[in-house]
Amino acid sequence: MRTAWVVCVLLVGGCKQAAEQDAKQTAVAITGGDVERGKAALQHYGCGGCHVIPGVPGSTGQVGPSLEGIALRTYLAGRLPNAPENMMRWVQHPQAVEPGNAMPELGVKDADARDIAAYLYTLR
């Protein structure tokens, strides 16, 4: 009985790990960015001051929407179809996309936007 339970827990744990690995590979493939560098960039630019971002320490901001599950959202900011190019565009130029919204232009560099997009597409 106990053995069956242990096997079950190991299997579920293995599946979760495999799913996370899969999400990471997909995110890298569609963005060409680096997930770990993206995580560091999210901290560097202080995105967590306004957003809850799973896995990024200190990201508890409530100004903008939580970015949990952002990979699965249909539209970004309710406006841009959720695709890698649009994610990078939004992260770099939210004021050009939607003038007057509360997310500021943070001077995010091209390479950083790519890495940030890679991280965000692991959030599903």
What is the rounded distance in angstroms from the CA atom of residue 7 to the CA atom of residue 52? 34
Q: Least distance in Å: CB of 78 to ligand HEC? A: 5
Residue 114 neighbours by CB under 8 Å, 6+ apart: 31, 32, 33, 88
Say if CB 91 and CB 113 are below 8 A apart.
yes
> Residue 52 in 3-state DSSP?
strand
Measured from the CB atom, is 4 or 63 closer to ligand HEC? 63
Q: Least distance in Å: CB of 102 to ligand HEC? A: 4
Q: Least distance in Å: CB of 29 to ligand HEC? A: 19
Measured from the CB atom, is 16 or 79 closer to ligand HEC? 79
Measured from the CB atom, is 14 or 54 closer to ligand HEC? 54
